[in-house]
Structure 1
Amino acid sequence: MSLTELITGVEDHQKTLTIFNAGPTAAEDLRERFADRNVHVQTEQTESGRPGEFITLSEDTEVIAAASLNSFTDALNEGRQYITRDNSPYVSILDHLDETMFTSWSIQRMTAASREIEDRAWRVGQGTLHAGFQTLSTLQGELDLYERLGETDVDVHAYAVPDVEPPEYSTFSLHLERSNEIADSWFVVFDGGGDPTQKCALLAEEREPREFYGFWTYDESTVDWIIDYLEETYGYLEQ
């Protein structure tokens, strides 16, 4: 299985957000928020109107998470849409929205999501981080950040197609690959630094010019699979 096939497998599993006992405005707001995600948003009413406004997340016919509508929308309003975890009430929904496809993400949104993972690796301060930049010219714009990250105890690996001369670098490992998969893929993957709860990954492919389709996850087995695949497929290092 390739990185593209993994993305396609996630794409085939659509989830459903059901909003109970709320007016049409709430539904339209969430439809707009999730317009770029492979999530179906629908509304329902309980016969009694109780227990108030709440939301469920389901896959196929199974409900996998629930939360009050207010706690969920408050989290979204605070911008907690990427790879974050704590003990807040909304976590049960957002945790299960990892590995849900996003569509047509811009460079700006991909960069913001990548920063979440890079920051997590920085805070943990150890472990291994794998990052795919598509091309060396893209890596050049991130060189200072990745040199600083490589100065920590994090083992940093960067992957890119050589479209320019390699830059000078000293604190991370560079994988130069003349591969369509590397040219088309944007990924940032952190192994958690020994803490499984810190594992996370962003994986996407460029299907349209500068528009990316993919998913983020902190599922341990998915993160492990991506890392194993990268190491087995692109293990050779350019010196």
Structure 2
Amino acid sequence: MSLIELIAGVEDHEKTLTVFNADKETIATLREQFHDRNLSVFGEHTPSGKPEAFAVLADGDEFVTAAAIETILDSNADIDPTAEPQTTDPAFDGDAYRPILDHLDETMFTSYDIDQMVAASREIEDRAWRIGKGSIHSGFQKLSIIAEQMDIYEQLAGKSGLDVHAYAAPDADVPDHDTDLTIHVERSDEIERTWFVAYDGAGIDVNKCALLAEERESRAFYGFWTYDPSTVDWIIDHLESTYGLIESR
């Protein structure tokens, strides 16, 4: 399976959230709250109108979890995965993902522009910087794009405990750098078409996160971010097993 096939698989695997005994305004709020997730929200009423507003998450015909509406609204308050990095970042606060959100590991988005992709990437880069250990793998599509991000990636590579890898197709010379940044130069369709940042969390599952997207239109990206450790592990394993080192200094 390729990176592009993984994106397509996540895109096709939509969950449903059925909201029972809630008013139209609440349902509309939840639809807006989850608009960038691979999730459909529906409203229903039980014959007795009880219990009061609650929601059921399903994966196809399979029950996943249920929760009170108030709990879902509270647990997702103020979370913005594309916000500018902060010292304490609510988008990376594992305690916030309860009890519905922790079952929505892959967050699908559509038609992100460059600014949105950069903001989402910065969240993962910031986490790797703050933890300062492990490995981070980033796909830039082209070498000329890496050159524009060298300041940030040299800072990351300057962390003694952090192993930093960048992937790109050759359209320019390999940028000069003085740190242990590893640059993989690859003539590969998936490297040219995808933008990704994957951090292994220094081997700790709750710290693992990744962003993976495909450029389907000119500078418009379709993909997902994930906090699911098995998905992050698969992305990194795929990169390490598929692409060898060509240029590292």
Name the counterpart of 2:63.
63
Is there any run of 5+ residues in structure 2 with no aligned partner, and where?
83-90
Equivalence for 2:86: none
1:221 corresponds in structure 2 to 230
CA shift, 1:108, in A, is 2.4
Is 1:127 matched with 2:134? yes
Structure 1 residue corresponding to 2:95, chosen from 87, 91, 97: 87
State whether residues 11 and 100 of structure 1, in contact with CA within 8 Å, keep that contact through their aligned partners in structure 2. Answer: no
Query: Aligned residue for 1:196?
Result: 205
Change (3 A) 1:139 1:35: same
Amino acid paired to 2:65? A
8 Å contact from structure 2 (residues 38, 106) kept in 1: no
Deviation at 1:33, TM superposition (A): 4.1
Shift of 1:127: 0.5
Tell me by how many angstroms 1:80 deviates.
4.1
Alpha-carbon contact 1:203-1:216 (below 8 Å) kept = yes
Distance in 2 separating the partners of 1:80 and 1:35: 12
Show the counterpart of 1:9. 9
Q: Deviations over 1:178-215 (max 9, x none)?
A: 22211110111111112122111111111111221112
Partners of 1:67 and 1:142 in 2: how far apart? 42
Measure, in 1, the Cα distance between the counterparts of 2:112 and 2:71: 26
Cα distance change, pair 180–199 in 1 and its aligned pair in 2 (3 A): same
Contact 2:94–2:206 at 8 Å: present in 1 too? no
Q: C-alpha displacement at 1:165, in angstroms?
A: 2.6
The reply to whether residue 211 of structure 1 matches residue 220 of structure 2 is yes
Unaligned runs of at least 5 residues, structure 1 = none
What is the distance in 1 between the residues matched to 2:73 and 2:119?
Answer: 20
Identity fraction in percent = 55
Aligned equivalents of 1:60 and 1:196: distance in 2? 26
Does 2:22 align with 1:22?
yes
Q: TM-score, normalised by structure 1?
A: 0.89
Tell me the equivalent position of 1:168. Answer: 176
Structure-2 separation of matches of 1:5 and 1:109: 22
Tell me the matched-pair count: 238
What CA distance in whole angstroms lies between the structure 1 residues aligned with 2:111 and 2:36?
7
Tell me the TM-score normalized by structure 2: 0.86
Amino acid at match of 2:104: L
Q: Distance in 1 between matches of 2:173 and 2:56?
A: 51
Partner Cα separation in structure 2 for residue 129 and residue 64 of structure 1: 31
Indicate the residue corresponding to 2:53 in structure 1.
53
Matched residue SS, 2:173: coil
